[in-house]
Amino acid sequence: MSEHRMEKVVIIGSGPAGHAAAIYSARANLRPFMFEGFISGGVAGGQLMTTTEVENFPGFPEGITGPELMERMRAQSERFGTRIETEDVESVDLSSRPFVVKSGSQTVSARALIIATGATAKRLAIPAEERLWNRGISACAVCDGGLPIFRDRVLVVVGGGDTAMEEAMYLTHFASKVILVHRRGEFRASKAMQKRVIEDKKIMVMWNSAVVDAVGETGLRGVVIRHLPDGKERTVEAAGLFYAIGHTPNTKLFQGQLDLDETGYIVTLGRSTRTSVEGVFAAGDVQDKVYRQAISAAGSGCMAALDCERWLAEGQG
Ligand code: NDP
């Protein structure tokens, strides 16, 4: 028998955005209820759970590991009374209020909903990926690029969009050389970003090329690159391989119910976290394809809790 309960605020997602929203709404006596779901790897806590050292989150001058940071955020949410259910949400019904949120074991009615389901970095699925993930392969240059293993080494970036341009340029601060591998003969990034990359002497572009594998057992030592027109492969010595081939926002549950942009991200109104449905708020990477940092996600989680609190205080929901 599945349970059916009424809640004031339900939060879906347990990364920095979800926990910041939980901490703020719990401290405002809204008694939030959180569904801490799973990312594709089967871990609650969002993308930080698959990151090693986090050195850019203010307040941790010595750095902190991604999982430890999430553990602390979770403990802080619970300390103020957030109830956390470790279960994936299977469906939501936003067509009328209260909203209905269903997981495998329960159905919850919510007066207000905060969505913080995040985004998933796309992966290439090369054979070496599982073995070398976080041991040289990363999907976030800004998070991992400054690690000692990458200093003064050759680093490879894959992709041809704005993220790839940004990450390649960022990595030039640490690398001896950055090789940018793109599958076509032209970038899709903005012209201004392309120009900066092309003019950067530390960046070499390999056009019409694909990364097909990587070598190294306990750490990445080289990247296997195929020149697509002739199929010729060569292994380039490198210490890092950074994917910048886009993210997929985790918005499947909301398709047809909330306004999403052309790439599937939730549209928020103005400078708020309000969505196209009153009483539904969105925070973190699920609505942000530009900044995508733990600290910016946490900031927007705080905003969502404040927006939600004000909306409920106005007697809505
Ligand atoms: P994009 O979807 O724009 O680009 C992804 C890139 O990865 C494309 O060049 C694509 O190739 C390539 N790619 C995708 N899949 C594969 C694959 N399997 N193998 C090899 N290459 C692959 O993603 P971004 O993350 O770059 O950008 C997302 C959005 O965020 C864009 O709207 C962008 O403008 C915006 N953004 C803005 C920034 C800014 O303004 N400062 C910074 C970062 C992002 P192909 O071109 O052949 O399709």
Mutate which of 156, 158, 163 to test ligand 1's pocket (most atoms within 8 Å of Cβ)?
163
Delineate the domains of the chain, giving CATH numbers in brackets: 3-120+247-313 (3.50.50.60), 123-243 (3.50.50.60)
| Residue of 144, 162, 285, 307 with catalytic role | 144
**Residue 164 alpha carbon, nearest atom of ligand 1:** 26
What pLDDT does 5 receive? 87
Q: Which amino acid is at 180?
A: L
Burial class (CB in 10 A: 0-12, 13-18, 19+), 2: exposed
Q: What is the per-residue pLDDT across 85-112, written as a single tens digit (0 to 9) for each?
A: 999 999 999 999 999 999 988 999 999 9
CA nearest ligand 1 atom 4, residue: 161
For atom 21 of ligand 1, the residue with the nearest CA is: 159
* Distance between Cα 13 and ligand 1 center (Å): 25
Query: Residue 45's pLDDT is what?
Result: 79
Sign of the dihedral through C-alpha 2, 115, 58, 136: positive
Q: Span 14-42, mean pLDDT?
A: 89
Q: For ligand 1, is residue 188 a contact (CB within 6 Å)?
A: yes
Ligand 1 centroid–CA 158 distance in Å is 10
Q: What is the pLDDT of residues 222-243, one digit of tens each?
A: 999 999 999 999 999 999 999 9
| pLDDT beyond 90 at 275 | yes
Note the pLDDT tens digit of each residue in 156-199.
Answer: 999 999 989 999 999 999 999 999 999 999 999 999 999 999 99
Q: Which residues contact 123 (CB under 8 A, 6 or more apart)?
A: 129, 139, 243
Please report the pLDDT score of residue 229 as a whole number.
Answer: 98
160 lines ligand 1 (CB under 6 A): yes
Tokens of 130: 């599982």
Q: What pLDDT is stored for residue 40 in this prediction?
A: 46
What share of the chain in percent tops pLDDT 70? 96
Q: Please say if 140 is a catalytic residue.
A: yes
C-alpha 22 – ligand 1 centre gap (Å) = 32
One-letter amino acid at 231 equals G
Q: How far is CA 232 from the centre of its chain?
A: 34
User: Are the C-beta atoms of residues 163 and 139 closer than 8 Å to each other?
Assistant: no
Q: Which residue has the higher pLDDT, 5 or 211?
A: 211
Q: How far is the CA of 244 from the centre of ligand 1 (A)?
A: 7
Q: What is the pTM of this model?
A: 0.79
Our answer to whether residue 302 is catalytic in this structure is: no
